[in-house]
Each structure stands twice: as structure tokens, then as C-alpha cells.
Chains A and B, each alone.
Chain A
Amino acid sequence: MKAVYGLYPDGQSAQQAVNRLRAAGLTDRDITVISAQPMEDFEFGRMDDSTWMWWFACLGGLIGMSVGLALSWYTATAWPMNVGGLPTFAWWPKLIILFEMTMLGAILATVITLVVSAIIPRKGQTLYDPEVTDGKILVGVEDPINVSLPAIETALSSPSGARVKRTF
């Protein structure tokens, strides 16, 4: 992997670096930002603003509810048993099963969405520096194609306090 990146002491300088990279012709997709905490106070910290996670959660809830309904319906009718004069498929008690299964589905769907979309490492996205843990903010470019390396380095090194590194 070929990458250039700068380490910045605070959010302002990181924001400057991101702005200069954009000015140099890079898109947000090409820019990697890594921080030890959410940086939502800054514009670069909100590069990803998708909200479709809710839809997956709702979908998961629907699937869970259907599973709960199918399970309790099938099991009640597959071998009908008379207990205490209750109907074979008693709606009121089944609502509890439906509710729990809905919530379980929603929770699992949320976690699966998170893991698949954000946690499983992507190929070609392995840029990292342990100094991030100490509070540095990493701004860098992996495998630059369109823009030349020196241009990126200039952009990265211009904010105050920047330290630029390369990996080859």
C-alpha cells in the first residue's frame, strides 16, 4: 500500500488539511481521516451522514416480528393443545412474543448493519498510525491516483503543527 498522511494536534489544523486536499482536487472518498474520538464539532467529522441505518433496524424489526408470528402460529396449530380453556392461538399472550422478537430483530439488524458497513476492514483501507490514540488526528490519502504525491504532501504539511509521513 502506498499512502501519505499527516498527523495534526487538533481539529482546526486537521480541518485545514482536509480543505487543502479538496482544493488539490481530491474527493472525500479518497481522503482518510482517523481520530481517537468522534469529531462531530468539525466539518470533516461529519463526512458520513447517511441515516439509512434506521431503515435496516425497521426492516430487522419486521423480520423479527414475522418470525415471532410464524413461530407462535405454527407451533400453536401444529399440535393444538387445550390449556385452561384458552384459545389455541391466543392473541394477547402472543403479543409479548411478537414484541420481543421485533425488538430482537431490530437490535440484531442494527448491529449487523454496523459491522458490515463500518467495522469489517475494506481492502485498500488499512492506513493507521498508533499515535492517533494519543490524540493526534490523522489525515491522509491511500493509493493516490489522480493527484501527484508532492502536491498532496504540500497540502498536508501546510497547516501548523503538521507532521507528514509516507508509507511505501
Chain B
Amino acid sequence: MTHPTGARINNDLIRPLLLTSWRFYLLVVFFGGFVVAGVIAWISQMYYGFGIAGLKWPIYWAFYVTNFVFWIGISHAGTLISAILRLVNAGWRRPVTRCAEVITVFALMIGALFPLIHLGRPWLAFWLFPYPSERLIWPNFRSPLVWDFFAINTYLTGSTLFLLLPMIPDFAVVRDKSTGLRHRIYRVLALGWRGTPKQWHRLESAMQIMAIAIIPVAVSVHTVVSFDFSMAPIPMWNTTIFGPYFVAGAIFSGIAGLLIAMAVLRKFLHLEDYIHPVHFENLGKLLLVMALLWGYFVFNERLVTYYGNGPAEMTVFWQTQRESFAPLYWTMVTCNFVLPVVLMGIRRFRTIAGCVIASFGVILGMWLERFLIIVPSLGHKYLPYSFGSYSPRPAEIVITGATFAAMALLYVLFAKFVPIISIWELKAGEHPSPALIPPATAEHRLGELHL
């Protein structure tokens, strides 16, 4: 196996920035079309009234909040995984961290959009912001939605900076390797980066501190998202397990998203020399662990409900086990547990293709999981007279589809303008001096790969 070094790393990773093929424009137009459709759907929802969505009494949260939780979950791919790998100094992280951190930032942006989309009066969303207003009234800090605002604000700020800081030296590389307008743009972006020992040292210290800070923030974000449900006295919502359950699910779906992104990047940007099967293998193992953890949490949640046998809880319980939501529920269990455990548990299937198939299953399964947490409980809340069922209408479906396209579009654009693998971190991993490698990692050198 060849290991690209110095100049070759520069060339391979800057090539996508300097050369543009028609495929790029095609992708932008394709995904952009879906995004435009989604924007039109949202504008018409504001123009005609919220009624064009499928929401109804008493199911006031459905697709939009599902998407919100789902995308915030996906965002745990990145920063959390790359921060943990950074802290434990896993050498194989180097080609993976940036594509993971990008997922975080974009998924958070998309996820944070959904509380706006789902608002009855989105033009007043700034009332959640604690500013002194002429209304003389502040946001209610006892509301989980305000906690959401603060948690997502911190996480988005932190993960954006976590992504941006290690990009500065790479912008300097592009600055040195490009000419004309591109050179001028990247000169500004590089912020006069030179690469003195002081700069490197402080950058790495800063990344270390950020990694330590961002892990508890990421955990808190999805816990706070779970509080949106567990704070309400609603059957099967009001449970203490939701915090860790949501965090585990978030990391689970995040790894799946990262695996898909890595496979796509590897194929289309020809990064076979950088993203190796061993990366898929390692992340596949992580996916397996999270699938087992997810199964454990679901079992806990279900068993406690079943044993408690409260009438309100059991109504929701049976809805998902054998009544109207059962097909979705068992699809979810298959996608989230059976599929990844089989594919990732058997060594022969833990290939790139196997990882991608399992990841698509997990993405679908985790989306269904959030839907099945939200809708059956709202539709079967205590008084049988007010039971209801929900089905989405075009506005919700189009907006949901558009967010997946938006993710792809943002990713394509990002890979066009920023080296998708951190150049300097890859170079720094080229020749690890024996003194810097702790004995424990020396045996885990991943076969031939001395990354």
C-alpha cells in the first residue's frame, strides 16, 4: 500500500479545488433544484397558512420535529467522533476528522432550521433570543425550547470554530498553490498563516481544549433535545432514559452519516489512497457497538413500560408493537439493529459496501425512531376521545426531502472550496517518531498503515 507524502498530498487534495468538471455543476443543479423546491414549500406554508402541512389536532409535532431531532442527531457524527479520536490520539482519525466535522456543522444548520420551519409564526422566532425588548418580557428560561436555543447555539458556535481553526493552515496551502482571484480569496481566508512552531503549538493546544469542551456540549445538546419530550407528562415521553437513549442514537446515526459521506468522497474525489478500507472497518466496528447500545436502550425503554403496565403507556406501546405503527416499528428494529449487527458483526461483510448498506439502513431506521417516539404518543394521549392519526402532506414531504438535498449540496460545495481532508494533519501523521507513540498504540498500527 502506498502512502502519499508531502507534495503528492498537496496535489491530490487541492485538485478538487482547482479543477472543476461538468459533474460538479450537474450535482449543484440537481441538489439545488430540490432545495429550491423546499424553499418554495416553506414560503407557501407561510403564505397560505400552516394548514397545508399534515399536522392536526392533537398531533401538533410530526415530520418537522422528527427532522429536527434527526439532523441534530446526525450532527453528532462529527465533532463528537473527531474530538474523541483527537483526544485519544488515534492516528487513523487524520483523514476522517474534517469530513466528520463538516457533517456536524451542516447538519446542525439544517437541524436548527426546523424549529423555525415548524413555528406557527416563524417571523417572530427572534423572541427566543434574550434581548431587551419593548415588550419588556424575556424568554422563559424554564422552557426546554429555550434550553434548546442555548445548547444548539453553543454547539453550533463551538463546532463551527472546531471546523474552521484547522482549516486555516490548509487555506495557506491553497493560497500558495493557486493564482489570480483564487489566490487573493484564499490569502484572506488564510489569515496570514505562516506555520511557525508557536502557531502550530497554539493551534494544537486550542484544538485540544476545544475537543475537551465540545464533547460534553455535544452530549448536552442531544440530552436537551430529548428533554423537549421527556419534560411533558405524555405517555412514553415522560421517562428518564431519554437523555442517554437520544445521545446514543445520535452518535449511532452520526457514524452512519459519516460512513456514507466517506464512501462517496472516496469514490468521487478519488481519495482511495487516503481513505482506506481500514477506516471503514474501524468505524464499522463503532457502528456495531452503537447498534448494540441502541438495542439495549430500546429494550430498557420497552421493558419498563411493559412491566409497569399503565393504561396510557400500554396504549402507545401496543400501537407501535402490533397496531397501526407496527410496520414502521419493526422496519426500524430491522434497520437499526438486525441489519447493522449482521453486516458489521460478521467480518466478511464489514467491507466498504457493507458499511454503506448498513449505514443507509441506520439512517432510515433512526429517522423512523424519532418519528415513532413523537407521533404515536401524541396521537394516543390519555383520553381515547382525542386519539388521532397522522399522515404527511406534500409540504412536509418536499421540505423533508429538500433538507437531504441541502446536506448533499452543502457538502458538494464545501468539498469544492475546502480540502476535504486536513492536509497538515495528514502530513503531521506521516512520520510518527517512535518517541511520540505510546506503547499501547504501537501494536495497533493498523497493519501496514502507518498513519
Contact at A133–B165, with CB atoms within 8 Å?
no
Contact at A38–B220, with CB atoms within 8 Å?
no
Asked whether A151 is an interface residue with its Cβ less than 8 Å from the other chain, the reply is no
Within 8 A of A (CB), among B184-239: 191-206, 209-210, 213-214, 216-217, 220, 224
- What bracket does the count of chain A residues touching chain B fall in? 35 or more
Within 8 A of A (CB), among B8-47: 10
Asked whether B176 is an interface residue with its Cβ less than 8 Å from the other chain, the reply is yes
Q: How far is the CA of A57 from the CA of B205 in the complex (A)?
A: 11
Query: How many residues from B make CB contacts under 8 Å with A?
Result: 60
Contact at A48–B197, with CB atoms within 8 Å?
yes
Asked whether A46 is an interface residue with its Cβ less than 8 Å from the other chain, the reply is yes
Asked whether A100 is an interface residue with its Cβ less than 8 Å from the other chain, the reply is yes
Asked whether A24 is an interface residue with its Cβ less than 8 Å from the other chain, the reply is no
Contact at A44–B209, with CB atoms within 8 Å?
no
Contact at A97–B210, with CB atoms within 8 Å?
no
Asked whether A72 is an interface residue with its Cβ less than 8 Å from the other chain, the reply is yes
| Count of A-B contacts judged by CB separation below 8 Å | 167
Kindly provide the distance from the CB of B430 to the nearest chain A CB, expressed in whole angstroms.
Answer: 8
Asked whether A132 is an interface residue with its Cβ less than 8 Å from the other chain, the reply is yes
Q: How far is the CA of A41 from the CA of B433 in the complex (A)?
A: 6
Q: How far is the CA of A53 from the CA of B6 in the complex (A)?
A: 30
Contact at B209–A53, with CB atoms within 8 Å?
yes
Contact at A111–B161, with CB atoms within 8 Å?
yes
Asked whether A164 is an interface residue with its Cβ less than 8 Å from the other chain, the reply is no
Within 8 A of A (CB), among B404-449: 424, 427-428, 430-431, 433, 435-436
Kindly provide the distance from the CB of B142 to the nearest chain A CB, expressed in whole angstroms.
Answer: 5
Among B56-64, B114-122, B149-157, B275-283, the stretch that binds chain A is B149-157
Asked whether A118 is an interface residue with its Cβ less than 8 Å from the other chain, the reply is yes
Contact at A78–B165, with CB atoms within 8 Å?
no
Residue of B nearest to A79 (CB): B137
Residue of A nearest to B435 (CB): A41
Q: A100-B154, A118-B202 are in contact. Are A83 and B140 (CB under 8 A)?
A: yes
Q: A79-B136, A86-B142 are in contact. Are A104 and B205 (CB under 8 A)?
A: no
Q: How far is the CA of A84 from the CA of B342 in the complex (A)?
A: 48
Kindly provide the distance from the CB of A86 to the nearest chain B CB, expressed in whole angstroms.
Answer: 6
Asked whether B256 is an interface residue with its Cβ less than 8 Å from the other chain, the reply is no
Q: A79-B136, A134-B6 are in contact. Are A107 and B161 (CB under 8 A)?
A: yes
Contact at B6–A135, with CB atoms within 8 Å?
yes
Residue of B nearest to A39 (CB): B197
Residues of B within 8 A of A160 (CB): none
**Interface 1/0s, chain A 114-125, versus B by CB < 8 A?**
110111110000
Residues of B within 8 A of A33 (CB): 196-197
Contact at A32–B139, with CB atoms within 8 Å?
no
Contact at A45–B158, with CB atoms within 8 Å?
no
Residue of B nearest to A78 (CB): B138
Contact at B151–A37, with CB atoms within 8 Å?
no
Which of A86, A101, A119 has its CB near the most chain B CB atoms (within 10 A)? Answer: A119
Kindly provide the distance from the CB of A155 to the nearest chain B CB, expressed in whole angstroms.
Answer: 19
Contact at A119–B192, with CB atoms within 8 Å?
yes
Sample of 14 more A-B contacts, CB < 8 Å, known A75-B138, A107-B217, A134-B10: A34-B196, A37-B427, A37-B428, A41-B433, A53-B206, A57-B209, A76-B141, A93-B141, A110-B210, A111-B165, A113-B206, A114-B165, A128-B194, A133-B10
Binding site for B on A (CB under 8 A): 32-41, 44-49, 51, 53-54, 57, 71-72, 75-76, 78-79, 81, 83, 86, 90, 93-94, 96-97, 99-101, 103-104, 106-108, 110-111, 113-115, 117-121, 127-128, 130, 132-135
Question: What 7 A-B pairs are tightest by C-beta distance, nearest first?
Answer: A75-B138, A135-B6, A48-B198, A41-B433, A38-B200, A130-B176, A37-B427
Binding site for A on B (CB under 8 A): 5-7, 10, 130, 136-142, 146-147, 150-151, 153-154, 157-158, 161, 165, 168-169, 172-173, 176-177, 191-206, 209-210, 213-214, 216-217, 220, 224, 424, 427-428, 430-431, 433, 435-436
Q: Can you list 7 A-B contacts with CB-CB less than 8 angstroms, sorted by A residue number?
A: A36-B424, A45-B200, A46-B201, A53-B209, A100-B153, A114-B206, A130-B176
